[in-house]
Structures are given as C-alpha cells and as structure tokens.
Structure 1
Amino acid sequence: MTSRTVATEPNDLGKFFIERGNAGDVDGLVALYEPDAVLAFPPGNLATGHAEIRKVYQQFVAAAPVLEPGRQHPALVSGDLALTASTLTTGEVTVEIARRQPDGSWLWVVDQPVLVP
C-alpha cells in the first residue's frame, strides 16, 4: 500500500484510512481528502484544507494509535457523491461525504469521524 493508491469505490477510503493510520502515513491520510475538505476532529474542532488536516493527523499518528476496522456500512451513492459510514469497535460512528473525482477515484469532502450514538 502506498499513499498513491486511489479509492476506486467510496468505501475504499475507510479501509485505506485504517491501513495508513496504523502505518503512521500522514501523507497517505491527507491524500484521502480533497484539497479543501473539512475534517471535524478532534471533537469540537474543524480542520479545513490539506494543511490543517495534515496538522491534525501529525498529532494523531504521533500518539501511535492502533486502529481496528469496525463495521463499514454500504455506501449510499448518488451520482458523484457518496455517504460513507462505519460503526467503530468503540460504538462510535463515523460519517463522511465522498466525491467522485474526474479520474473516477473517490476522495472525502467532509469527514465527521466521531459521532456517539
């Protein structure tokens, strides 16, 4: 897996996130997002754009988390937009909006990684 591997399906993004996060691959994590994407993490904060998202993930991987895949829900696709969601092993839910890129790959536009049911 390299940070250049692209998501050919919206739910590939979640799988790549787990792999790249566990590898400490900050560049690979940032590559999952459109340049002006919005990330709501840590809870209560918003990071907009690659530079801010990079700062969030630099701190995130510095803590060396061990990420486990939860239950990924089927993507809800409408044209070039997709709603992706996963229920984590902690019971928290992630919700993201992905957009199909001109080359057919998918990137996240909006990411809300922590919703407590």
Structure 2
Amino acid sequence: MQQNVIDTVSAMTAALERGDIDTVMSFYVDDAVVAFEPGEPVRGEQHLRAGFAAFAAAKPEFRYDDGHEVMTTGDIAVHIAPWTMSGTAPDGTPIVDSGLSVATLRRQVDDSWKIMLDNPFGARLIS
C-alpha cells in the first residue's frame, strides 16, 4: 500500500516534468487543494492547471534523494518527502529550489490513490 502511494506521487512528478498537465491532473481529486506558493493554497481545476503549467514551463527536474515516508489509515495516506528541483526561468535564469512535500491522498474505489492536499512547502514553518 505504501509503495502504491509513492508510485502515485512519482508518476505525477514524472508527468509534471514532461509538461503533461492532463496526466498531472488525473492524479488529483476533483476538489484538490495545492499550494503553488508557500502559505497560498488554491483549489479548482483552472487554478491547478495554471499552477502546474507555470511549474512545467520551467522544465523542472525533481529529485527525492532522501526518500519518502508514507503513513496510512483506512483509505487516507500522508506522503512526506524532501525534494530538490532544478529548472530554467522564462528569461533563461537557472532555478534551484528545495522543500518538504506533504501530501494527503485518498484511495479510490479502483484501489488507485489520488492527491487531495498537496503542499510542497511543508518545511516553511520549521526554523
């Protein structure tokens, strides 16, 4: 079960790296909430598509070198993983960023997992 959650997050990340926004969206529940900026969560398909498109435009490459932690109870899972990202801004400037992803997923009736809450800036309150 934990590996299925990790596989879901990894497949969504790979789709984002490819710029395949339709596939990215398929990994989220309809009423998902995502923080594209620290402390500024958004919801709704239009906002999520715009946020993912902005990320994809940077041609990001994500790494989860420190691994994944998954906790589950029933049909709910929490996925926690430190990440690093490199990419390119629209003006050609290199982008390097890192953070702590904290995501909540719900198991679907077909036993797949979809992301409900996605906060890639989970470490921002820790000093």
Smaller-chain TM-score range? 0.7 to 0.9
Larger of the two Rg values belongs to structure: 2
Count, aligned residues? 110
Alignment partner of 2:41 out of 42, 46, 62: 46
List structure 1 runs of 4+ shifted beyond 4 angstroms: none
* Uncovered stretches (5+) of structure 1, i.e. residues with no partner: 1-7
Report the TM-score when normalising by structure 2: 0.77
**CA RMSD, aligned part only?**
1.8
Q: Distance in 1 between the 2:44 and 2:60 partners? A: 23
Matches within 5 A, 1:78-89: 78-89=73-84
Report the 3-state secondary structure (helix = DSSP H, G, I; strand = E; otherwise coil) of the residue aligned with 2:62.
coil
Report the 3-state secondary structure (helix = DSSP H, G, I; strand = E; otherwise coil) of the residue aligned with 2:120.
strand
- What amino acid is the match of 1:40? A
Alignment partner of 2:104 out of 90, 94, 97: 97
**Could you say which structure has the higher strand fraction?**
2
Report the 3-state secondary structure (helix = DSSP H, G, I; strand = E; otherwise coil) of the residue aligned with 1:72.
coil
Matches within 5 A, 1:2-81: 9-81=4-76
2:65 touches 2:82 (CA, 8 Å); kept in 1? yes
* Uncovered stretches (5+) of structure 2, i.e. residues with no partner: 85-96
Sequence identity, in percent? 29
Alpha-carbon offset, residue 17 of structure 1: 2.6
